[in-house]
A and B are shown apart, each in its own frame.
Chain A
Amino acid sequence: MSTTLNITDFLAISPLLILLFGALILILLESFWVGASKKGGTTIAFITFLIALLAAAWAPASHSPLLTNWLQFDPLARFFALLFLAVGIGSVLLSEPFIERFNISCGEFLFLILSATAGLLLISSAADFLTLFIGFETLSIALYVLCGFIKRWLNTREASTKYFLLGALSSGFLLYGIALIYGAVGTTKFADLITGYHAIETASDKFLFLGGAAFVTMGLAFKAAIVPLHTWAPDVYDGSPTPVTAFMAVATKIGAFAAFIRVFMLALPQFSPIWNQSIAILVYPTLIYANFVAMRQIQLRRFFAYSGIAHAGFLLIPLAVGGNDALSALLFYLVIYALATLCCFAVMAFLDKRESGVFIHDLHGLYTRSPMLAIILSIALLTLAGIPPSIGFIAKFYVFKVAFQAGYYGLVIVGLLTTILSAYYYLRIVALMFAKAPSEEEKPIHSLPALSVATFCIAALLLLSIYPQPFLDLIGTVDKFKA
């Protein structure tokens, strides 16, 4: 067994290394040469992400046991790496107008975004509970700071404190769950979990394992903001700066579900019907509560918090179902959710002028002020609402199909009913944008980076609506690899 790493191994983890290197450069620049960081910070972060993206696309798989014990190099990891890096690029571009307007320290901000993304990469390629936990901590600690980044804003301080306290608690849950599982099967390696579980013969060990699984689930459910562990999400989303909210709404949510996939779909596929049943039970309150409360929101960041919770409920359905096709349905829905939400935040970046964020009534008559923004935002909202012919419909359809095949009729029914509710609140915004004359005659800010994000997302959504098959095939190859 070799103890040295050769060039292939370094190439395999190159996206992570590039990200960390870029982050290091940024923080050093910020410390010693503020002017340069202010001028070129965004460019450096953008280029770092771009190189990392290319590296992730071409990276070979490593076979060195020094790495494979901790990280996996399967198609799923590559898929998630590409997704996270793309979202990272989006966040950097979205934060550019924000940094400029509020004149905040660019290098530090982007350093934190880069390290949070590195944490996400660790999560999605984890082969061991410890890697997963380190990934989550890297992500969370960066996010605690990002939430309270603008120290003079009262709301962000509150959000940051809340997020830190509750986040620490959830990390505790996660770690405790890992410890219990270790106690039951004597390993933290994902590859050995299922054999370990089946080798359990005593009732007490089984109880220990299931308890650990429950704690891990709770920890992850907190990160994914699933009712009843969602309470942090509205306040934190509301209080954080808009680009940070965008990053949380998209990347953190995907990260939590990536962890769910790694642990409960790949390492422990269908290990116990009790787990699937309890996840199915979580779906009901998540969908119903979030959709009802979202109807009454007026602040857009808070609105997207509830919308995100509602979509987390949808994402739980394939997780609860497990089995054939569930991974494909989950990944497809995740990507559509990510594109549409990022697109909404890109439009918000144009309107975001105050500490308190964008309110729904700021969108009054947006169509007369800026037809393009209004059309982009409505397509994204229609996709989120799942109204055909948008691709959101196909995504929901796929989820329903998987649930129906497994006999979870209750989930399908509640999903359909809450879709009606969600159509109401998404379309209300769309109607508002087109309906009335503008309340105030102010032009939206002009920002090329944010526009490019919006254009990219919309182009992707439209292309997928017309011909989703190639993308479904791609996801199918990821799904097949699992088996």
Chain B
Amino acid sequence: MSNLLLLVFIPFIGACIALIVGATRIPAKYQKSLAFLLSLLPLAHLLIGFGSWNGELLRYPWISSIGIDFSLAMDPLSLFFVLLTAIITPIAISTVSSERQKSPGLYFFLILTLQGILFILFTAKDLALFTIAWESMLLPLYFIINFWGGSQRQSAALQFLIYMIAGSSLFVAGVLGLYFTAPQATFDLDTLATSAAQAPYAMLIFLAFIIAFAVKTPLFPFHAWLPETYVEAPFAGTILLSSLLSKAGIYGFARIGYGLFPGFMVQFSLPLLILAIIGALYAATTAWTQRGIKNVIAYSSLSHVNFILAGIFVTAPIAFQGAILQAFNHGITIGALFLITYWLQIRTGETTLGSFKGAAKYFPALCWFSLFFVLSSIALPATNSFVGELLILFGLFSRNMWLGSILALSVILSAIYMLRWIQKLYFEEPKEASLLNARDLGSKELSIAIPLAALILALGIYPAPWLKEIEPTALRIAEVTEHSEKNLTSDNYKTVLVQLIDILTPKERVQNLLAVNDAPYYDPFSDVIEVLRQQGEFGQEQSNSSQNETQAEERKQEEKRILQTQADRRLQEEHEQQRAADKRLDVEHELQRAAQNRRDVANTLQRDRDLRRIEQEHRLERQREDRRLEERRLQRQRENR
């Protein structure tokens, strides 16, 4: 069994184990430990043979009637996201409180299933498999929000679902469109990479994909589902959503956007870039004014995700490298931030800023870790985000200084709102004594927080090996996009419009329909004659059949059928003959008409000649007359004289 297959199936097997254990009477505490260990297995599996993962491949025919293969491949781009998934899932599980938890088995089942689905999504080499994984992601999250979320969980879950399914339907439509209009009908991403952009409606399909990814990430202005969903989801759900789901969208832009339509990515770069920058600033200012503890982090996640998208849309290799690295960093940091928010919330029981103050006095360790993760989030040098955001800004500045400076504002804003957040929670004069009873971080919590902090530092201090991993991908993209049109022209808009109109008016079928109405013309008299003739045939046969024996009847029926077919054939022959005769007649007519024409022409010529002759005669005569008159006049003059 190949390593990749094992990696993909461990979570599903783990999920089933968690479900089975959940049905027994084992206490929730042990179930949680078991699920935590199960979710660590893929991470261990990834780390054991870390060097050998790159280039791992597998392909099995799955549903060959529709041409879908179960085909997975691991490349550096996939590896980043797979690793992130493997790290974040245990963290999400650790936030499931083991007391008073309804059906924990199902909860762990859903989280582990989501992990497996994400592994498939991030390594899929087949567009249909990618689509199935893409859509399947929704369900576990929907249930997690719906069952274990806050007080408004049901409406939040439904809103999330509707947004996502709307995006997914566009995605499915795009995939189908690509499959049937691309030069090669295939779902294989490698083959599509060379042929997708040549599809007749490539630009529309590209836009459908872009909108689907934009909803999932979410890119401004497709973010309306995010605040309520993030806040109402349980912490495990929020961590999965912010760390992993948003990365699925980013991965989509990188893998499908750049993989299939690099030219369009460059052409649409500017509008997308502007949306992403607006999103980063808008979310940052909104985060500043939030009152909920979780809301601030939710909007900060939105702001940072748009920042990363800006890096993706710059189309400079350095910014792309930065964006992919930053996607990984953001996953770690935002997961850590929600984790400490959860730890704080279970200790205080409060959800709004300002309902308690000065928590640092009671939980010093928690405070230090919070501060560390907040600093990582606002991109302090020597933390991971610093490297990623710097590379993105670097790429953007080299492309457009003004856009770069506007985006850089969001870094300042993030420092403002995050520091405000931590100050309000930890560093004001404490006013409540109720927090005295709660205890600081325990060893279990430390054992999660310390590796995360170490990872953040490691990435911040020595990012070179990570960047080197992603460099070939970035350079390849740069190579592909080098020769394509750099900006959107009015032609592009026209193309989109024309293609839309083209799709909405099915011309060919309309033409077919018109062709049907264009039935050949029948001579009404031949019609009547034929009907009469047919009736005659039938009448003869009916009068003959009056015996009762079955055999005879059968034979007669056979005969009748033969007669009928013969009659039919005869009729047909006659028709053909008639048609041939008609044609012959037509030809004769044509000939006659031609002859007539010739005669006509000749006649005209003759008449012309005659006319001319007569005219000439007339003229001659007149001349003669004139001459005669002249002579007579002369004679008369002579006589007069």
Contacts and interface: CB of A to CB of B under 8 A. Distances in A.
Interface of A: 1, 3, 186, 199, 201-204, 206, 272-274, 277, 328, 367-368, 371, 382, 387-389, 393-394, 397-398, 400-401, 404-405, 407-410, 412-413, 416-417, 419-420, 423-424, 427-428, 431, 434-435, 467-469, 472-473, 476
A435 B519 CA distance: 61
B530 A472 contact: no
A388 B23 CA distance: 25
B66 A388 contact: no
Contact of A328 (B65, B143, B172, B508): B65
A92 to B, nearest CB: 31
B517 to A, nearest CB: 9
Contact of B506 (A186, A201, A407, A434): A407
Contacts of B550: 3
Contacts of B143: 434
B509 A472 contact: no
A272 B551 contact: no
9 contacts: A368-B102, A393-B132, A408-B506, A409-B503, A410-B506, A428-B158, A431-B157, A434-B146, A473-B65
B65 A416 contact: no
A467 B131 CA distance: 17
A201 B135 contact: no
A389 B136 contact: yes
B516 interface: yes
Contact of B522 (A201, A401, A404): A201
A202 B147 contact: no
Nearest to B23: A371
A473 B62 CA distance: 12
Given A416-B169, A472-B65, 5 more contacts: A203-B527, A393-B135, A401-B180, A412-B173, A424-B161
Given A413-B173, A423-B161, A468 B63 contact: yes
Interface string B357-369: 0000000000000
Contacts of A424: 158, 161-162
Contact of A419 (B102, B169, B572): B169
Given A203-B522, A393-B132, A469-B65, A435 B166 contact: no
Nearest to A476: B65
A437 to B, nearest CB: 10
B516 A273 contact: yes
B434 interface: no
Interface in B566-618: 568, 572, 575
Given A401-B176, A434-B143, A473-B65, A409 B506 contact: yes
**In the A-B complex, the 4 residue pairs with the closest CB atoms:** A472-B65, A388-B135, A416-B169, A388-B132
Contact of A427 (B136, B161, B508, B531): B161
Given A388-B135, A412-B176, A398 B66 contact: yes
B154 A431 contact: yes
A274 B506 contact: no
Chain B contact residues (Cβ within 8 angstroms of A): what range?
A: 35 or more
B179 interface: yes
A152 B459 CA distance: 77
A482 to B, nearest CB: 16
B62 A404 contact: no
B177 interface: yes
A273 B530 contact: no
B299 interface: no
A435 B522 contact: no
A218 to B, nearest CB: 20
A253 B356 CA distance: 63
B169 A397 contact: no
A404 B65 contact: no
Given A201-B522, A401-B179, A420-B169, A367 B63 contact: no
Nearest to A420: B165
Given A274-B516, A404-B177, A412-B176, A382 B139 contact: yes
B66 A401 contact: yes
Nearest to B117: A389
Nearest to A385: B165
Nearest to B157: A431
Contact of B169 (A417, A434, A467, A472): A417
Nearest to B138: A387
Contacts of B132: 388-389, 393
Nearest to A206: B519
B176 A404 contact: yes
Contacts of B465: none
Contacts of A387: 135-136, 138-139
B508 A469 contact: no
A400 B506 CA distance: 16
A201 B530 contact: yes
B61 interface: yes
